[in-house]
């Protein structure tokens, strides 16, 4: 793959997947600054991995593998620093992303959902995020390296947790 082809393919990937990658970053980092840093790390990871993409897996599977693995490395590096800076306290609920067309209730629900997703165990979080991003069960298996049964069980359990979390907080 030549340099020009690589750049074209890379920009095309970003054009199609950037919103999804941004949401993925949100599931790993709560602070907006950290989300931005992670997004850049993922972008760099995709750039370096791109020449080795042979099409053995689907483009989506490959992309999410790179993104999740990069995010895990990022989290591993940052967690210690965050614990040092915050003294190991749990982070606050994120501020809802206000947009003109969304209602306050939706924003609150989304913030609850994001917080609940981030509180899931890593593997469950990966599965849920991939599911929300529209990957099929077989694609999720390929990204996580888990069996179909394991993915299904974890997904069901995680969805119940998330629904309960969003629903439970509504009545407060």
Partner 1 sequence: MNSIQDDDLTLLWRQGASAEPDPGEIARLAGRASVSRFDRTVRRRNLGEYAAGLLLLLLFGWGLVAGNDPALDPAIDVIGIGCVAFVMAYLWWKHRHLTPLEPAADARAYQAAMLTRIDNQIRLLRSVRYWYALPLSIPGLWMVLQILLRRDTSGAFGNYRPLAAVLFLVLQTVLVLWVVWLNERWAVRKLRAKRERIEQLYEE
Residue 158: count other Cβ atoms within 10 Å of its Cβ.
22
- Contacting partner 1 (CB under 8 A), which of 60, 124, 139, 151? 124
Show the tokens assigned to 131. Answer: 């599911």
Residue 1 in the binding site for partner 1 (CB under 8 A): no
117 near partner 1, judged by CB under 8 A: yes
Restricted to residues 22-51, the positions that interact with partner 1 (CB under 8 A) are 22-23, 26, 39-40, 43-49
Q: Report d(CA 68, CA 141) in Å as an integer.
A: 13
Q: Is 151 in the site for partner 1 (CB under 8 A)?
A: no
Out of 1, 5, 91, 106, point to the residue binding partner 1 (CB under 8 A).
106
Residue 114: other Cβ atoms inside 10 A = 18
Let me know if 27 is exposed, middle or buried by CB neighbors in 10 A (0-12, 13-18, 19+): buried
Considering only residues 152 to 171 of the shown chain, the ones binding partner 1 according to CB under 8 A are 159, 162-163, 166-167, 170
What span, in angstroms and rounded, lies between the C-alpha atoms of 23 and 115?
Answer: 12
DSSP 171: T
Q: Are 151 and 141 in contact (CB under 8 A)?
A: yes
Residues 65-104 that bind partner 1 (CB under 8 A): 65-66, 68-70, 72-73, 75-76, 79-80, 97, 102
Residues near 72 by beta carbon (within 8 Å), at least 6 away in sequence: 122
Binding positions for partner 1, rule: CB under 8 A: 3, 7, 10-11, 14-15, 18-19, 22-23, 26, 39-40, 43-49, 52-53, 57, 62, 65-66, 68-70, 72-73, 75-76, 79-80, 97, 102, 106, 109-110, 113-114, 117, 121-124, 126, 131-134, 142-146, 159, 162-163, 166-167, 170
């Amino acid at each position: 793959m030549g340099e020009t082809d690589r750049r074209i393919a890379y920009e095309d990937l970003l054009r199609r997947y950037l919103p999804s990658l941004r949401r993925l970053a949100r599931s790993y980092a709560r602070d907006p600054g950290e989300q931005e840093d992670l997004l850049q790390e993922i972008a760099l990871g995709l750039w370096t991995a791109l020449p080795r993409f042979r099409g053995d897996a689907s483009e989506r599977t490959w992309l999410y593998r790179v993104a999740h693995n990069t995010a895990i490395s990022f989290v591993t590096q940052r967690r210690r620093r965050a614990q040092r800076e915050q003294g190991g306290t749990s982070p606050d609920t994120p501020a809802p992303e206000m947009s003109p067309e969304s209602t306050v209730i939706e924003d609150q629900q989304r913030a609850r959902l994001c917080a609940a997703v981030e509180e899931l165990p890593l593997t469950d979080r990966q599965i849920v995020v991939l599911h929300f991003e529209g990957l099929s069960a077989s694609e999720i298996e390929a990204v996580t390296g888990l069996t179909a049964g394991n993915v299904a069980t974890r997904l069901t359990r995680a969805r119940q947790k998330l629904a309960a979390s969003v629903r439970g907080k509504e009545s407060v």
